[in-house]
Amino acid sequence: MKIHKNLSLKKYNTFGIDVCAKHFCEISSLETLSKALQLEAYSNKFIISGGSNMLLTKDIDALVLYINIKGKVIVSETEDDIILKVMAGENWHDFVLWTLDQNYGGLENMSLIPGKVGTSPIQNIGAYGVELKDSFTSCEAMEISTQKIKVFTKEECNFGYRESFFKNEGKGKYIIVSVNFKLTKRNHQLNTSYGSIDKELEANNITNPTLKDVSNAVIAIRQSKLPDPKELGNSGSFFKNPIVAVNVFEQFIANNPDAPFYKVSDNEYKIPAGWLIEKCGFKGKRFGDAGVHKNQALVLVNYNNASGKEIIDLAYQIIEEVEKQFNIRIFPEVNIIK
């Protein structure tokens, strides 16, 4: 186990924030993970994986464990579907592309989401009408205090919109080491009704789409709206779309009849935060090296050398302005490390 000292984390977080890990260790097996967690000389441990949903704001005075455990195996299969066990360190998008090459269906709408497989359940990643929970069957996680592996069923994960057990009661207690997915081998249930997927397929004259066609449509849409973290530091949607009670919604829509919205239940509505932020005039604005993306106002970007604090200051300026103009409070989706 090699432990590095004072290592920059810039390339380990998609926001590209340049802070230092006091100590850093790459973890490529369960055994090393267990051993590293038992190292008493380093009392504080900090877990990093894809680094795609976090905003680092200061140097990490801890032993940073970079989870990079690879591998995927078939757990079981029938003629109709397959259950795969995928280790936490597999890159999410590479894994999705691999499933499409095998003609396994279920993940195509979640193409090009940054990050790794192990962190996908934490916030129940989702895009274009599909969420991780739709194909997730279970995951294994190592309990930090005992190094024991525990299996979590889908119910135990308590998934919600960008929510799970691991973001709440389980926070800081477990490290997800593998995820099991159930994918289709035939009779794939394509989900093309969300927003612009149908339009994108139509524009390419595709009437009978394959899994790969849907994935390609999603990739094209994402590339037109969302910045590539390799070119412009970002963490995807910085904010969650607010879910408001029906009385708040009625007042809001009366004042803003052109606003987009989704009905969540009989008494709750979801309003796109990107729309609210754009209406407040922030879209495409730059403040030093921190900014709001020009094609999707939900995404904050690091033009080069923004500090975590600059990004947070911009986020709070946005939160306050949205609240002032619409009387609706929006909340960060990314994990802010203070």
Decide if 162 is catalytic. yes
DSSP 8-state secondary structure symbol assigned to residue 109:
G
- Site track 209-228 with ligand EPU (rule: CB under 6 A), x = hit: ----------------xx--
Decide if 250 is catalytic. no
288 binds ligand EPU (CB under 6 A): no
Minimal distance in Å, beta carbon 182 to ligand EPU?
21
Cα–Cα distances in angstroms (integers) from residue 62 to residues 4, 21, 27, 45, 123, in the given order: 12, 7, 15, 5, 24
- Give the C-alpha separation, 257 to 334, whole Å: 30
- Site track 298-317 with ligand EPU (rule: CB under 6 A), x = hit: x-------------------
- Give the C-alpha separation, 260 to 271, whole Å: 7
Strand partners, 292: 300
Find out whether 82 and 103 touch, Cβ atoms under 8 Å: no
Identified binder of ligand EPU from the candidate list 274, 291, 308, 332, rule CB under 6 A: 274
Q: Which is nearer to ligand EPU, 173 or 294 (CB)?
A: 294
Which residue is listed with tokens 């397929």? 201
Q: Are strands 290-292 and 286-287 parallel, antiparallel or unpaired?
A: antiparallel
272 binds ligand EPU (CB under 6 A): yes
Radius of gyration of the chain from Cα atoms? 20
Strand partners, 178: 87, 140
Identified binder of ligand EPU from the candidate list 21, 33, 127, 201, rule CB under 6 A: 127
Decide if 237 is catalytic. yes
Find out whether 194 and 218 touch, Cβ atoms under 8 Å: no
115 binds ligand EPU (CB under 6 A): no
275 binds ligand EPU (CB under 6 A): yes
333 binds ligand EPU (CB under 6 A): yes
Q: Which is nearer to ligand EPU, 178 or 296 (CB)?
A: 296
Residues in the interface with ligand EPU (CB under 6 A) total: 19
Strand partners, 151: 140
**Binding footprint of ligand EPU on the chain (CB under 6 A):** 127-128, 195, 225-226, 236-237, 240-241, 260, 272, 274-275, 278, 283, 296-298, 333
Catalytic residue positions, numbered: 162, 237, 333
